[in-house]
Chains A and B, each alone.
Chain A
Amino acid sequence: MELDGNIIGIIKEEKEENYDGLRVNEIVTYKKEEALKMVKFDIEKENTLFEELSSKDKNKVILAKKLHDKEIKLVNFSKGMLKKDIEYFQNLFKKITNYGRKVILIDKSGDIFLNCVDHIYVFDEDKIIYETTTIFDKYLEKYIDLPKIVEFINRSEEQGIRLDQYTELDELLKAIYRIKS
C-alpha cells in the first residue's frame, strides 16, 4: 500500500521490534560507529544486550540499524524519549528524507507527529479508517492523545477563541497576551 508523504505518521496497534538475545554491535552492523553516533547512542554500551537497554536506547539502536534503508519504519519510537530527544530526531528524520528516503512513524504519542509528519493515517488492523494532513485535526482525538499545545488550542476554540496553529509555547504565550491585553 502506497502512503502519501516523506515522513508519515501512523496510528495503529503494532508490536515493537525485539532483538532480545543480541548485543548492540550484532544488531547494528552497517557503518556501525557512524550510525550509532548519528542517533546519539553511547558507544560504550555497544556490548550490551538489547533487552537490558532502556526504551530510549532500544529505539536508538533500531533506528541506527535502519538508518540507510530506503524506508525506515519505527514502532513507538517516542517511548522513553524526552521533548528534546524528540526534537533532535524530528530534525534527523527531515535530513534523512532529503536523501530520498521515507520515514514511517507508528506511534502512540501525538508529540512526535507535531511539526514533523506530512500525513497521518489511522489504521484498524490493515485498513485505513481515517487520514489527515494535520495533527490539529480534532477528529484524531478519538484515536490518540493530541500534543498538549494542540489540545489547548482546540479547547480554546470551543470557548470561542480562535488561535493560530502554534506549535511552540512562546508563540502561544504572545498570542494569549495580545488577546488579554
Chain B
Amino acid sequence: MKIESDKNYVILNDNIDNAFMEQFKEYPIIENLRYIDLKKKIEFFSSKTIIFRETFYYLKKEEKEEILELLIRQKINYIIITSNIEDVLYANNLVVYKDSNIVLEGSTKEVLKKEKDLKKLGYGLPFAVDLSTQLNYYDIFQKVYYDISTLVEDLWN
C-alpha cells in the first residue's frame, strides 16, 4: 500500500495479523495502549507519522476525538488500522482490505458510497451512514449523514 506522508488514513481489515503489519514496519506502531498512556506517548512523540494497530478499540468516542485533536495540533499524520467500520469516519482516506488484498480505496465519502461492496465484504456501513442512506430510499432524507447527533436533530426537527 502506498502511503502519502501528508494524509491521514483509516485501514479497514478484519484480519490484522503480524504478516499484514509487516508492510508498515518502517513506521512507529502503537498498540494496546489505554487513553492516558496513549496521550502521554503522543505528547512526546517525535515521528511525523503514527500507526494505531487496533488501538482505537480501547478508546471511547470522546477519547478518540481528543487523541486526533492532539495529533493535528502536533502535526502528526496518522494511520488507524481497525476492523470497526465506525472508525472509518476518523480520516478522509479509506483503504479496505480483504484477505491481504486492497479491495477498495479512495476518499472515505466516496468509498462509503460502495454500500453493496462493503456489506458483501462483511464490514457494513457506519450506523449514521447506513440509516441515512436507507432513509434516502424512503424519501425521508436527501443526503447522507456521518454523525448520529446531526442525523437525529435533522430527522426530528
CB-CB under 8 A from B130, the residues of chain A are 169
Q: In chain B, what residue has the closest Cβ to A76?
A: B57
**What is the count of residue pairs linking A and B with beta-carbon distances less than 8 angstroms?**
93
* A-binding segment of B40-48, B107-115, B149-157: B149-157
Residue B152 contacts which of A54, A159, A172 (CB distance < 8 angstroms)?
A: A159
Question: A55, B131: Cβ atoms under 8 Å?
Answer: no
Chain B, range 39-65, C-beta contacts under 8 Å to A: 54, 57-58, 60-61
User: Which A residues, 95 to 121, have Cβ-Cβ distances below 8 Å to chain B?
Assistant: 108-109
Would you call A159 and B153 a contact (CB within 8 A)? Answer: yes
| A17 sits at the interface (CB 8 A) | no
Q: Which of A1-60 touch B at CB < 8 Å?
A: 13, 51-57
Contact A180 B149 (CB under 8 A): no
Residue from A79, A149, A176 in contact with B54 in the complex, judged by beta carbons closer than 8 Å: A79
- The answer to whether A156 and B83 touch (CB under 8 A), given A83-B124, A169-B134, is no
Q: Which residue of B lies closest to A83 (CB)?
A: B124
A81–B85 CA distance with the chains assembled, in angstroms: 11
How many A residues touch the partner, as a band?
35 or more
By the criterion CB–CB under 8 Å, are B17 and A177 in contact? no
Main secondary structure of the interface of A (DSSP, over half): helix
A148 near B148 (CB under 8 angstroms)? yes
Any A CB within 8 A of the CB of B19: yes
* Interface SS majority for chain B: helix
A42 to nearest B CB, angstroms?
10
Interface presence of B23 (CB below 8 A) = no
Bound Cα distance A55, B56 (Å): 13
- Could you give, for residues 69-85 of chain A, a 1 whenever the CB lies within 8 Å of some chain B CB and a 0 otherwise? 00000001001111111
Question: Are B148 and A176 in touch, CB under 8 angstroms?
Answer: no
> Which residue of the partner chain A has the closest CB to B124?
A83
The B137-157 residues at the A interface (CB cut-off 8 A) are 138, 140, 148-149, 151-153, 155-157
Return 23 A-B CB contacts under 8 Å, by A number. A51-B18, A52-B17, A52-B18, A53-B17, A55-B54, A55-B57, A57-B17, A79-B54, A80-B83, A81-B14, A83-B85, A83-B122, A152-B127, A152-B131, A155-B148, A155-B149, A155-B152, A156-B155, A159-B153, A169-B131, A169-B134, A177-B138, A180-B140
Minimum-distance CB pairs A-B, first 5:
A148-B127, A54-B17, A155-B152, A159-B156, A52-B18
**Which residues of A line the B interface, CB within 8 A?**
13, 51-57, 76, 79-85, 108-109, 144-145, 148-149, 151-152, 155-156, 158-161, 169, 172-173, 176-177, 180
